[in-house]
A and B are shown apart, each in its own frame.
Chain A
Amino acid sequence: MVLQFKDAEKQYSDNVIFPSFNLLVAAGDITALHTNVNIRQQLMDLLLGTSTLSNGEITFEEKSLSAKTAGIGFFFLESGYYERLSVIETLRFHHNLHNSSQSVDDVLQSVQLLSKRSVKAGKLNHSERKRLQLACLLLQNPDFYVLEEPDQNLDHESKRILFSVLHGLREQNKGILVLTGNMESAVTLGTDVFRLDDKGLHRVETADEEPEASEEPAIHTEEEAPLQPESLQPVRFEKIPTKVNEKIVLFDPPEIDYIESSEGQSFLHIKGEAFPSYFTLTELEDRLLPFGFFRCHRSYIVNLQKVREVITWTKNSYSLVLDDAAKSKIPLSKTKMVSLKEMLGLK
C-alpha cells in the first residue's frame, strides 16, 4: 500500500500549479500535505483520475493509478448524504454496497454515533454528519485513505474522534494522506508533514530533537558578531521589530500572541495579523524567554500568558488554544508537553 508521486508536475495554461516533486506515502504513515485550495483540488482530481499530470506519474502499489480499482477511499470536503435516511440505514446501505467485512455496530461505536442511530442524516449537525461520512468510509475499509480537509469546521469532540480513528487506522497499517490548507491541522494530524506550493515540496520539520543539533552551530556563529555590540548598549531595549512593507514596526512582547515559522521566515501573530520578523525562531526564543514565551513546537513559539486551554487529541498529539478573538489553535509537540507540565508545576 504505497502511494507514490514520481516527478509529478502540473501546469495549467502557462501557470505552474506545482513543480515536479517526489513523495512516497507508505502504509502506516499519516502524511499531511499543506497546500492551498487550488493545489488541493488539483491533487484530488489527479487522484480521482479526472485530470492528468503534465509530467511524471502517480503510482499506487507500483501500478499506475486508477481510482475506482485502486482501493483508495476518499473523505471529501463536500460529500453528499441521503438526508431522508437515518444514520443506521445509511450505514447498512454502505455496508451492502461495499460488501463490507466491518460490522456496522463497531463502526458506529468508533465514530460515537450510537445515540444518534435512528436520527435522519438531514437532522444531524455538520460535525455529526462528517462523522457519519467517516463511518461510511470505514465500512468501505480501503487500504489507503485520502482525506480532504478532514477537520475543517469540526467541533472538539468530533475532532478528537477523527484523531483517534486515524491513529487506529495507522495501527492497522493503512496508508493515509491528508490534504489541508491549515498548518495547525497538518502538524497535529500528520506523522510526516510536507508543504506543497508553486515552489515545490518542502518537508515541515516536526521532530523536536535531532535536526536542531545540526542547525544550532550555524545559527550561533552568525549570532556571535551582533551580540557583542548589543551588550555594549547602555539601555536594555525590549521591543521586537517586524517589517511592514518598507517600515520597521516595533511590538511589545506581551502584545504577541504567537510566532510561527514558515518557509524559513518567522511571523509574529498579533491580533489575527501576521508580521514577518527579522529573526529566526531560535533567536526570538532566546529573546522572549524572560517574557513567558515558550517554544511549544519546532515551528511555533507561544506567549504562555495568552494560552487558555490545552487540548489532548490522542496520547501523542496536543494543541494549545489561545485567548485571542479567533481562538487560535497552536500545535504542541509531545516532548514539549512534558516541559510545559513541569513549568505549570504539574507532574
Chain B
Amino acid sequence: MNVSIKRMSAIFQKDLKDFSRNLAVSVVIFLPLFIAAIYSRMGVDSLASHYMIFNMTFALTATYVQCCLIAEEKEKNTLRGLMLSPASTADILGGKSLLSFVLTMLIIFFSAVLAEYQPANIAIVALALVLSSFFYIAVGTLLGLWAKSVMESSVIVLPVLGIFSFGSFAVPLAEQYPILKVLVYFPNHQLFEIATKVELGTAIGSMWSHFAIILLWTLVAVALTVIVYRKQTKD
C-alpha cells in the first residue's frame, strides 16, 4: 500500500475549506473550550474534570466531526469518486482523518491551557492523548461509513459521546454492579489512569499495561474501519 503525501494533503485542504464553511458541524468544536473556560473560572480543577473535558473533546471533535465528514462524502456520492481515483485506501482514510486529528490536538491543547492543566510529565500524557485520538477517529470513521446520512451520523454518535465521555462517572458504582467493571478497561478510563499515575510520579514501567489496552482498542477500531471501507468499495 503506497502512501502519497500529495493526495493526502489534497484531501486535507479540501476538507479544511469544506469544514470551515460548514457551520452546522464546525461550531461543535467550541463546546469543550467553552466548558474548559467555565470550569477553570469556577475553580473546578480536579484531574477528573480535566479528563472529562478531554474525553468530551475526543467524542466531539475526533469522533463526531470525523463521522460527519465521512457520512457527508457518502451521502453526497463523492466517496465513490475518491474510491475510483488512484488514491489508495491509506491515502483516503489517512487524508480524511488528518483534519479531525489536527483539530482534536488543537482543541485539547487550548482546553488544557484554559483549564490550567499542567501534567507532571508532558511527554507521557501527550503520547497517551495522541494514541487515544487515533482510537476515537477510527470509531468516527467506522460510524460515518455505517451511517446512511449526515443526519443519522449525528444520532449514532450520541452513545459514543455518552459512554466515552461520561462513562468514567459510573466506575465507582462497579462495587455494586460487577458488570460495570468492564468500564475500567475502556480507553477513556485507561487514559485517566495514566494521567493519575503521572501526577503521582509513578515510574513509566507500570503504565505499559494501560498503553497496551488503549493500543488494542485502537487496532481493533482501525481494523474494523478498513474492513468496512473495503466492503463499501465493492458495492
Residues of A with Cβ closer than 8 Å to B?
48, 50, 67-68, 74, 76, 78-85, 89, 92-93, 96-99, 136, 140
Whether B21 lies near A97 (C-beta < 8 A) is: no
Q: Is B87 an interface residue (CB 8 A)?
A: yes
Whether A97 lies near B22 (C-beta < 8 A) is: no
Q: What sequence of 0s and 1s flags, for each residue 1-39 of chain B, a beta carbon within 8 Å of any chain A beta carbon?
A: 000101101110110011001100000000000000000
Given A50-B234, A84-B21, is A93 in contact with B77 using a C-beta cutoff of 8 Å?
no
Size band of the interface chain B makes with A: 20 to 34
Q: How far is the CA of A148 from the CA of B160 in the complex (A)?
A: 41
Q: Is B202 an interface residue (CB 8 A)?
A: no
Q: Which of A78, A81, A96 has the most CB of B within 10 A?
A: A96
Whether A98 lies near B86 (C-beta < 8 A) is: yes
**Cross-interface CB contact of B78 among A67, A81, A99, cutoff 8 Å:** A81
Q: How far is the CA of A96 from the CA of B91 in the complex (A)?
A: 12
What is the CB-to-nearest-CB distance from B1 to chain A, in angstroms, rounded to a whole number? 13
Whether A80 lies near B80 (C-beta < 8 A) is: yes
**Cross-interface CB contact of A85 among B11, B18, B82, B86, cutoff 8 Å:** B18
What is the CB-to-nearest-CB distance from A211 to chain B, in angstroms, rounded to a whole number? 39
What is the CB-to-nearest-CB distance from B77 to chain A, in angstroms, rounded to a whole number? 3
Residues of B with Cβ closer than 8 Å to A?
4, 6-7, 9-11, 13-14, 17-18, 21-22, 73, 76-87, 234-235
Additional A-B contacts beyond A68-B84, A136-B81 (14; CB < 8 A): A79-B81, A80-B80, A80-B81, A82-B76, A84-B21, A84-B22, A85-B14, A85-B17, A93-B11, A97-B85, A98-B85, A98-B86, A99-B6, A99-B86
Q: How far is the CA of A96 from the CA of B10 in the complex (A)?
A: 6
Whether A97 lies near B10 (C-beta < 8 A) is: yes
Q: Which of B11, B22, B86, B234 has the most CB of A within 10 A?
A: B86
**Cross-interface CB contact of B77 among A74, A79, A92, A96, cutoff 8 Å:** A79
What is the CB-to-nearest-CB distance from B201 to chain A, in angstroms, rounded to a whole number? 48
What is the CB-to-nearest-CB distance from A151 to chain B, in angstroms, rounded to a whole number? 20
**Cross-interface CB contact of B18 among A82, A92, A97, cutoff 8 Å:** A82
What is the CB-to-nearest-CB distance from A344 to chain B, in angstroms, rounded to a whole number? 46
Which residues on A sit within 8 Å (CB–CB) of B17? 84-85, 89
Q: How far is the CA of A74 from the CA of B22 in the complex (A)?
A: 29
**Cross-interface CB contact of A89 among B14, B77, B80, B85, cutoff 8 Å:** B14
Q: Which of A67, A80, A98, A140 has the most CB of B within 10 A?
A: A80
Whether A93 lies near B10 (C-beta < 8 A) is: yes
Q: How far is the CA of A83 from the CA of B13 in the complex (A)?
A: 15
What is the CB-to-nearest-CB distance from A78 to chain B, in angstroms, rounded to a whole number? 6
What is the CB-to-nearest-CB distance from B71 to chain A, in angstroms, rounded to a whole number? 13
Q: How far is the CA of A236 from the CA of B11 in the complex (A)?
A: 74
Which residues on B sit within 8 Å (CB–CB) of A99? 4, 6-7, 86
Which residues on A sit within 8 Å (CB–CB) of B79? 80
Q: Could you show 24 A-B contacts with beta carbons less than 8 Å apart?
A: A48-B84, A67-B84, A68-B86, A79-B77, A79-B81, A80-B76, A80-B79, A81-B78, A82-B18, A82-B76, A82-B78, A83-B76, A84-B18, A84-B21, A84-B22, A85-B14, A93-B14, A96-B6, A96-B7, A97-B7, A98-B85, A99-B86, A136-B81, A140-B85
